[in-house]
Structure 1
């Protein structure tokens, strides 16, 4: 619940990244865990992507799941109006700024590493995905716990 005097929570939030395969779906699921049900949360990518099994694995460690959700592109969304768009990658930030040039939509850029480049053992790769998951979770808690940035 927002603290007294804090800005109200957005009614709708879009998390946007490159392919909607890792960072933005993680953010969507993590945000849904802490935000009120009245807040609409979605995610999308600028380009087409494929579901990443490492995302499923690190979300399962937190008791969370993507369910049957598959990656979607921003241009495939039925409704592209949100109160807040959180971008997690440079190309997503540029796309959001272009999309919102003539709209009253807040856009926030949360630079987030892409763990898909991690190499080595399965454990090392999972550690990279866990790090991204935990950083996104912390950022969501910090941003929305008090209702403001």
Structure 2
């Protein structure tokens, strides 16, 4: 629903990758902005600003060299969307932190875990020569 993992990945990629690389995130369905995403991004001095969840139909551009999916439903939708296009599609399975229960701190820990997994995956996927040294 473009409310948790994907916007988090977008914000991290915008920081870590050169500004010449176009980064956008979208979901299969509409969703609502998640306040826990704002909280864990703020811990890294990042913000979604006024950005709201959006669907793939709402993207400004429909040409991509690479589509990264973070959930099974999104991966299947991306494969279907790109069936006749020359686009690389990668699946980076990420846990859904909205499944976390318990105290606020338990929930925040689940969101932090996803944030850190995304940072590591972005850093591994893109060579150090392409990435900014924003992880430190």
Q: Same fold (TM over 0.5)?
A: yes
SS in 2 for 1:26: helix
Q: TM-score, normalised by structure 1?
A: 0.84
SS in 1 for 2:26: strand
Q: 2:11 aligns with which of 13, 29, 45?
A: 29
Corresponding residue of 1:101? 83
Q: Output aligned runs, 1:77-116, within 5 Å.
A: 77-116=59-98
Counterparts of 1:124 and 1:91 in 2: how far apart (Å)?
26
Corresponding residue of 1:137? 119
Q: Deviations over 1:52-106 (max 9, x none)?
A: 0000000000000000000000122232211100000000000000010110000
Q: Output aligned runs, 1:56-95, within 5 Å.
A: 56-95=38-77
Counterparts of 1:58 and 1:91 in 2: how far apart (Å)?
24
Corresponding residue of 1:4? none
SS in 2 for 1:45: coil
Counterparts of 1:114 and 1:80 in 2: how far apart (Å)?
26
Matched, 1:48 2:30: yes
User: Alignment length, in residue pairs?
Assistant: 130
Which 5+ residue runs of structure 2 have no aligned equivalent? 131-136
Q: Which runs of 4+ in 1 moved over 6 A?
A: none
Q: TM-score, normalised by structure 2?
A: 0.92
Counterparts of 2:32 and 2:22 in 1: how far apart (Å)?
23
Q: Deviations over 1:25-53 (max 9, x none)?
A: 00000001111110000000000100000
Counterparts of 2:61 and 2:20 in 1: how far apart (Å)?
17
Counterparts of 1:78 and 1:59 in 2: how far apart (Å)?
24
Counterparts of 2:43 and 2:126 in 1: how far apart (Å)?
23
Shift of 1:146: 4.6
